[in-house]
């Protein structure tokens, strides 16, 4: 198993997920220890010399003018965690809480936060032993960082809060006792370093980056199969067209679909048909999917800056330079998450349109409602009701949370990002689009069946067979719950994309002046 050095190595969304899943080990190096202890010594110097530094020798927020005695600094930090743990609602997923721990350790390990070494070691112990705190999903405004969720995340360090044990919640005191551990005594600034930061927002964004990539790849693959099933034209995917409007996402999607279809018998069978052009949901796949892919790339690039940054406050540059700034403000990732929410919603919106199109029945040889015999049977009619419902729900979730701001902290924090809401909405829309694409997958595979004995390309045929191994061709009405579940699993697992990538190793696509393999990370 490869090691990742907290505070030193460059963290990516995929590496963070690997650490969270136990596929990679996060470690603390000797250099990291030196950097952390140096920063902690700077904080102690501030206390010993009675300097006035926000959050170290003063109160917090509107109490920043209240001076705290040296012998009260520990109590100040513990009270900070207790008073700020005011989150409400259902807990976030355990994996999100674990990601928050991983992201926070990496930020603190850079040595600019004044944290103590034993505190960092305890957080890593929580990660390595899957002793994960319970964090409510609501309560952060995404400005002084994610104060409420991070307070819940780190209450267990001082013996409070709750811990996940399997799927059950247990009191921290009991869990620590069962492991032979005692609560920690926080030093000056430690509480502030723990709860100032963007790790709640960033954990949602990291998850979204990985899940969006899987959705984008599945969407291209499923749309290609639907294009085949509905006798769509391959010409809108010619590079000559996209060379004239060279948006990166458009070019990538067009090249991928062209390469997936260029040797298809089905494409050749209607090469000289009388249809002049296809509806937008087929003809404009590169433009629609491509724009969403470009939005994903923006989110990915922004997130990877964020998760390698120091986002608490104040920042200890050295003993003589302590800066109280705004690095905890969530705006830099709140805006891209709102943009990504819109982008992934549109992926579901156009997928619903292709599902509808597949039910109409036309000269493509595909029967109305995708069933050979209807009347007594309703066929696939009601599947599109579900995609319509989910697409509509997504539209209601697309209002940008970052467009709102409500002043907090008696006006000291007079502009907030609401990025925590951006992150939660984004993951909900991603989940909805997983279900929409599941239905398009079922419809696309069914449509392709009606073109036999003609064959598509090797990759599309292999993907179709993989679907048929789990989902049969449907000839009469039947309960669809298990079929929907099987399609969802095929998409969510990334199995279809992995299979396509394995088969496509010999295919390359011209992209930005270089050769890229199909389904490589964009």
Catalytic residue among 280, 468, 505, 517: 280
Average pLDDT of span 41-46: 86
Cα–Cα dist 326/313, whole Å: 7
Q: How confident is the model at residue 512 (pLDDT cuts 50, 70, 90)?
A: very low
Average pLDDT of span 152-169: 96
Task: Tell whether omega for the bond before 453 is within 30 degrees of 0, i.e. cis.
Answer: yes
Cα–Cα dist 280/105, whole Å: 47
Catalytic residue among 160, 413, 507, 522: 413
Catalytic residue among 283, 298, 319, 470: 283
Asked if residue 500 lies in contact with residue 463, where contact means CB atoms within 8 angstroms, the answer is yes
280 assigned to active site: yes
Q: How confident is the model at residue 522 (pLDDT cuts 50, 70, 90)?
A: very low
Q: String of b and e for 319-329 (b: at least 16 CB within 10 Å)?
A: eeebeeeebbb
- Chain position carrying tokens 């989940």: 431
Has residue 139 got a pLDDT over 50? Answer: yes
3-class DSSP state of 494: coil
Q: How confident is the model at residue 23 (pLDDT cuts 50, 70, 90)?
A: very high
Asked if residue 298 lies in contact with residue 181, where contact means CB atoms within 8 angstroms, the answer is no
54 assigned to active site: yes
306 assigned to active site: no
Cα–Cα dist 149/78, whole Å: 15
Asked if residue 357 lies in contact with residue 282, where contact means CB atoms within 8 angstroms, the answer is yes
Higher-pLDDT residue of 412, 212: 212
At 183-197, the pLDDT tens digits run 999 988 899 999 999
Give, in order, the Cα–Cα distances in Å from 465 to each of 296, 383, 447, 461, 471: 30, 22, 14, 6, 9
Q: Which of 2, 3, 62, 10 has the alpha carbon at shortest distance from 309?
A: 10
Query: Are β-strands 88-91 and 136-138 bridged in parallel, bridged antiparallel, or unpaired?
Result: antiparallel
Length of the chain: 522
**Apex 381 CA angle, 378 and 387, nearest 5:** 155
Catalytic residue among 6, 42, 196, 434: 196
Q: How confident is the model at residue 73 (pLDDT cuts 50, 70, 90)?
A: confident
First to last CA, the chain: 26
Catalytic residue among 237, 328, 339, 507: 328
Has residue 26 got a pLDDT over 60? Answer: yes
Catalytic residue among 4, 6, 54, 339: 54
Question: Which residues on adjacent β-strands are paired with residue 516?
Answer: 509
380 assigned to active site: no
Catalytic residue among 84, 293, 329, 354: 84
At 235-251, the pLDDT tens digits run 999 999 999 999 989 99
Cα–Cα dist 109/464, whole Å: 48
3-class DSSP state of 316: strand
Has residue 413 got a pLDDT over 90? Answer: no
Question: Which residues on adjacent β-strands are paired with residue 514?
Answer: 511
């Amino acid at each position: 198993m490869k090691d990742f050095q907290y505070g030193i190595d460059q963290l990516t969304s995929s590496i963070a997920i690997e650490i969270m899943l136990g596929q990679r080990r996060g470690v603390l190096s000797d250099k990291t220890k030196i950097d952390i202890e140096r920063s902690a010594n700077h904080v102690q110097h501030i206390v010993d010399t009675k300097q006035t530094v926000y959050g170290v020798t003063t109160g917090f927020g509107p109490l920043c003018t209240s001076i705290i005695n040296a012998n009260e600094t520990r109590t100040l930090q513990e009270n900070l965690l207790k008073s700020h743990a005011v989150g409400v609602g259902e807990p976030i997923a355990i994996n999100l809480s674990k990601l928050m721990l991983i992201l926070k350790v990496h930020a603190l390990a850079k040595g600019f936060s004044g944290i103590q070494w034993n505190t960092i070691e305890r957080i890593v112990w929580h990660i390595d032993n899957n002793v994960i705190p319970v964090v409510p999903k609501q309560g952060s405004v995404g400005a002084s960082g994610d104060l409420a969720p991070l307070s819940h995340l780190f209450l267990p360090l001082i013996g409070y809060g709750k811990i996940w044990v399997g799927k059950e919640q247990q009191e921290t005191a009991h869990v620590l006792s069962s492991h032979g551990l005692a609560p920690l005594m926080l030093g000056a600034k430690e509480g502030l370093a723990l709860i100032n930061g963007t790790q709640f927002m960033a954990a949602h964004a990291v998850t979204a980056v990985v899940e969006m990539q899987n959705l984008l790849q599945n969407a291209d693959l499923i749309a290609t199969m639907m294009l085949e099933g509905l006798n769509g034209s391959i010409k809108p995917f010619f590079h000559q067209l996209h060379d004239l409007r060279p948006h990166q996402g458009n070019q990538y999607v067009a090249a991928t679909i062209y390469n997936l279809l260029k040797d298809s018998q089905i494409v050749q069978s209607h090469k000289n048909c009388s249809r002049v052009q296809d509806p937008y949901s087929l003809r404009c796949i590169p433009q629609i999917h491509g724009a969403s892919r470009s939005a994903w790339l923006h989110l990915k690039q922004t997130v990877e800056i964020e998760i390698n940054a120091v986002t608490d406050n104040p920042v200890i540059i050295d003993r003589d330079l302590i800066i109280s700034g705004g690095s905890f403000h969530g705006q830099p990732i709140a805006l891209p998450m709102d943009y990504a929410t819109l982008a992934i919603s549109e992926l579901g919106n156009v997928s619903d349109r292709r599902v509808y199109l597949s039910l109409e029945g036309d000269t493509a040889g595909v029967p109305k409602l995708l069933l050979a015999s209807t009347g007594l049977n309703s066929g696939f009619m009601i599947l599109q009701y579900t995609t319509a419902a989910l697409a509509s729900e997504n539209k209601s979730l697309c209002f940008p949370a970052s467009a709102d701001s409500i002043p907090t902290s008696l006006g000291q924090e007079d502009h907030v990002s609401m990025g925590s809401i951006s992150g939660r909405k984004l993951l909900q829309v991603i989940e909805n689009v997983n279900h929409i694409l599941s239905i398009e997958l079922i419809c696309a595979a069914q449509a392709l069946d009606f073109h036999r004995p003609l064959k598509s390309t090797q990759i599309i045929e292999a993907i179709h067979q993989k679907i048929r191994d789990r989902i049969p061709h449907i000839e009469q009405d039947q309960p669809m719950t298990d079929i929907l579940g099987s399609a969802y699993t095929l998409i969510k697992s990334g199995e279809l994309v992995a299979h396509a990538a394995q088969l496509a190793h010999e295919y390359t696509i011209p992209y930005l002046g270089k050769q890229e393999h199909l389904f490589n990370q964009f």
